[in-house]
């Protein structure tokens, strides 16, 4: 069973479109995250949610809106896609928000904006 | 602010060679330190971690020691295998789940 799953794995779309990426974890964790990995493989946190509540919101354009319908799901909706949004997006989860917890990552969604 | 600096890659080694990937950090307080590994086409997975000074994390023959005096967490392995080829990320967390990553070091091990 996959611990953290994301759909879709690949997403190719035109500039200006709106798209969503879904994430689900079956680990029973309280906290979920979204990270962006750029073409140089640099990883940066975007958001985190604990029990459906937003707790980390980095300086991300407000075209990006996370939504957590329950603590096992954290979806990422992106409006008005731009070329610079092309990246690999990783979802992750951890037991709590303690700084010592291991984060478990999904396989990633490669977004290409044309 | 908090930051992590890793040695630049790519690093190319022959099988059974000794591996060191340097990692230093800047942080306020007492962060936890992590090494994550990303195999081609996959997500990241935890390799090892240390949560306080002088702790040694170890897994699969890899080890790293949390050195507060030198603000370092260097990754070592005595004998690498082809299957260790991957990108290795050093990271810190001192803000309750906000992982700060280094730029990643690509390792390629040749038979």
pLDDT at A14 (0 to 100): 97
Quote the tokens at residue A69: 């319908």
Which of B42, B46, B94 lies closest to A107 in CB terms?
B42
Q: B97 pairs with which residues across the strands?
A: none
Is the pLDDT assigned to residue A2 strictly greater than 80? no
Q: How far is A42 from chain B (nearest CA, A)?
A: 5
pLDDT at A1 (0 to 100): 65
pLDDT at B97 (0 to 100): 82
Mutate to test the interface with A, among B36, B44, B86 (most CBs of A within 10 A): B44
The tens digit of pLDDT for each residue in B2-46 reads: 999 998 889 999 999 999 999 999 998 889 999 999 999 889 999
DSSP letter assigned to residue A39 = T
Q: Map chain B to HEC letters.
A: CCEEEECCCCEEEECCCCEEECEEEECCCCCEEEEEEECCCCCEEEEEEECCCCCEEEECCEEEECECCCCECCEEECCCCHHHCEEEEEEEECCCCCCEECCCEEEEEEC
Q: Average pLDDT in the A68-83 region?
A: 95
Q: Average pLDDT in the B53-64 region?
A: 96
Q: Average pLDDT in the B61-74 region?
A: 97
Q: With beta carbons under 8 A apart, name residues in chain B contacting A44.
A: 101
Mean pLDDT, chain B, as a whole number?
94
Q: Are strands B86-93 and B105-110 parallel, antiparallel or unpaired?
A: antiparallel
Chain A with chain B: Cβ pairs closer than 8 A:
68
Q: Does A7 touch chain B (CB under 8 A)?
A: no
Q: Is B97 in contact with A101 (Cβ distance < 8 A)?
A: yes
Is the pLDDT assigned to residue A99 strictly greater than 90? no
Q: Average pLDDT in the A77-95 region?
A: 96
Mutate to test the interface with B, among A31, A36, A41, A53 (most CBs of B within 10 A): A41
Biggest CA–CA distance in chain B, Å, is 43
Which of A40, A45, A106 lies closest to B99 in CB terms?
A45
Is the pLDDT assigned to residue B105 strictly greater than 90? yes
The tens digit of pLDDT for each residue in A18-48 reads: 999 999 999 999 999 999 999 999 999 999 9
Mutate to test the interface with B, among A103, A106, A109 (most CBs of B within 10 A): A103
Q: Which stretch of DSSP H or E encloses residue A57?
A: strand A53-57
What whole-number percentage of chain A has pLDDT above 90?
80
Which of A41, A99, A105 lies closest to B97 in CB terms?
A99
pLDDT at B96 (0 to 100): 77
pLDDT at A70 (0 to 100): 92
Q: Which residue of B has its CA nearest to A10?
A: B41
């Amino acid at each position: 069973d996959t611990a953290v799953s994301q759909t879709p794995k690949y997403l190719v779309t035109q500039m200006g479109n709106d798209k969503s990426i879904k994430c689900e974890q079956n680990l029973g964790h309280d906290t979920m995250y979204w990270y962006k990995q750029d073409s140089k493989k640099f990883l940066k946190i975007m958001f985190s949610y604990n029990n459906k509540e937003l707790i980390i919101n980095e300086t991300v354009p407000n075209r990006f809106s996370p939504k957590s319908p329950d603590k096992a799901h954290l979806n990422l909706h992106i409006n008005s896609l731009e070329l610079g949004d092309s990246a690999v997006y990783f979802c992750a989860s951890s037991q709590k928000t303690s700084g010592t917890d291991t984060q478990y990552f999904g396989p990633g969604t490669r977004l290409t904006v044309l | 602010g908090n930051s992590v600096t890793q040695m630049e890659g790519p690093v190319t080694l022959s099988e059974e060679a000794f591996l060191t990937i340097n990692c230093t950090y800047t942080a306020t307080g007492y962060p936890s330190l992590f090494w994550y590994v990303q195999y081609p086409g996959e997500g990241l997975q935890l390799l090892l971690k240390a949560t306080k000074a002088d702790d040694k994390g170890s897994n699969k023959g890899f080890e790293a020691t949390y050195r507060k005096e030198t603000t370092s967490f260097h990754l070592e392995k005595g004998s690498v295998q082809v299957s260790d080829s991957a990108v290795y990320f050093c990271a810190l967390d001192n803000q309750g789940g906000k992982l700060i990553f280094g730029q990643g070091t690509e390792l390629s091990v040749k038979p």
